Amino acid sequence: MKKYFLYSLVVASFLTSCESDITSLNNDPKNAQEIPSSFAFASGQYDLANAIFDPGTQASGFPFLIEHQAETTYVTPSRFLLNTNSTNMWDRVYVRGLKMLDNSKNILSKEFDAGNEVGRNKLAMIEILSCYGFKSLVDTYGDIPYTEALQQENKISSPKYDDARTVYTALISRLDNAIGSITASSGGYTQDFFYKGDMSKWKKLANSIKLSFGINLADVDPALSKKIVEEAYASGVMTSNADNAVYSYDGASYKNPYSVTREDIVASKILVDQLKQSNDPRLAKYFSTVNGNYIGGVFGNQNNYKTTSTFSASVSATTARGLFFDYSQVEFLLAEGAARGYNVGSVATHYKNAIAASMDYWGVAAADRDAYIAANPYNSAGNFKQQIGAQVWVSGYTNGYFVWNSVRRLNYPSLPVPPTSQLSGYPIRLPYPDGEQNLNNVNWTAAVSKIPGGRDIATAPVFWDKN
């Protein structure tokens, strides 16, 4: 019921702002009409953004996978007893995010502006988000249904799984087509939560997503990785925090998910101690104090909510913004690309820009920002994976999906496996949901047979994680 309630809120919130007059939608309940594509787009965007930004209580558990958060009573995520039920990342991206985006695409094809510049821009917006949604699934699980996905109307209820690397290649081509179709001087969906249909921003987002595809390929296909990264950079990625793709919650119909975690989540001692040790000014932006002190909870243990730091007001406010993709992330990816020898500028410059962008986003004073950067400069003689990886980990608070990709790709920081863990090692993928084994067993079995070791386990790498 909760899912349909959320969808009803999405529809209700747009009744007064839609481009078309839809007051007759409910006139004939026996002959339901299609909602405008803008409604389906907004719903898909909302669910995809929430799946990426979720604090870990409902979907992926990304903040727990990177050990930024600890727990009080319900400690299964921090003990790496990973969620394989129907509320996990799989369903939220496939059933809700991608399916609604696919619906918006089908509805758009029947609307009056489907063939003009605005219509092509709308289609590009759908395609960009869809590519990122499928990418997040590949990065999380490995092989996934792609060519037969989202085709219930064609009576494909048990879709085959496609090779993860092949899906990546198809998504990059699809993203290129979307980028090439954008007319930046024309608009798109005005119901867009990120940019209100500003297509110059969407083009930067698309190129930034393409950049993330390219960097993930660095250890499996360096030549292709270099080509993709350099193309994205030349075409135009995010260049400031003004380009950030953020979801703004209204605090009423849509509440920041970090505001509704009850008293289940506290700060992780691992992150708190690192921030304190490095005099990182973001400590006060991330967490609250207990009697004037910052105290982290032991990861994997039950912790006392009253005596442990938790989310700051900046994080837990009902109207706090949700990060989907941001400029700091782009600069870290460019720093890594430059360190790998790609023609995208200076490692040190991108590294500095990335840290500064994170500090600025969190509202750190300029003097404190500059002091931290001066104390933590990039050392060209050092190990680039360790230097960039360390700063991504502390900068990417509330951006767990991006940080988890970085941790796996750069192998840094080396996060400890708690003694209470249900796994023998650190989780580098999520197991498929139980429903796939039960309802799509033949295709699930074929996919599992390709996982290193032949078992659906969290300690087997996805295709691009070669180290």
The string of DSSP letters for 316-336 reads HSTT-EEEEE-HHHHHHHHHH
Element spanning 150, H or E: none
One-letter identity of residue 207: N
Quote the CA–CA distance of 349 and 351 in Å, as a whole number.
Answer: 5
The answer, as to whether pTM is greater than 0.75, is yes
Whether 95 is covered by a domain: the verdict is yes
Residue 116, domain member (yes or no)? yes
User: Which token pair is 186?
Assistant: 């024309």
Token representation of residue 98: 């991608």
Count the domains in the chain: 1
Strand, coil or helix: 287 = strand
- Sequence-distant (6+) residues with CB within 8 A of 273 are 296
Q: Which two tokens stand for residue 418?
A: 């708690």
What averages of pLDDT result for each successive group of 10 residues across the chain (467 residues)?
A: 38 37 34 77 94 73 94 91 78 94 95 84 98 98 96 85 98 99 96 96 99 99 99 99 94 86 91 98 98 97 97 93 96 99 98 99 98 97 97 97 98 96 94 92 97 94 94
How many of the other CB atoms lie within 10 Å of CB of 385? 17
CATH of the domain at 156: 1.25.40.390
Count of C-beta atoms within a 10 Å radius of residue 167:
23
The answer to whether residue 236 is domain-embedded is yes
Residue 354 within any structural domain of the chain: yes
Summary count for the chain: helices (H), strands (E): 19, 4
Q: Which residues contact 320 (CB under 8 A, 6 or more apart)?
A: 249, 256, 258, 259, 314
Please tell me the predicted confidence (pLDDT) of residue 19: 33
Which structural domain, as residue segments, surrounds residue 341? 35-71+79-258+318-450
Is residue 278 in some structural domain?
no
Other beta carbons less than 10 A from residue 260's beta carbon: 12
Domain for residue 329, yes or no?
Answer: yes
Q: For residue 446, is it within any domain?
A: yes
How far does Cα 324 stand from its chain's mean position?
Answer: 6
| Residue 10 maps to a domain | no
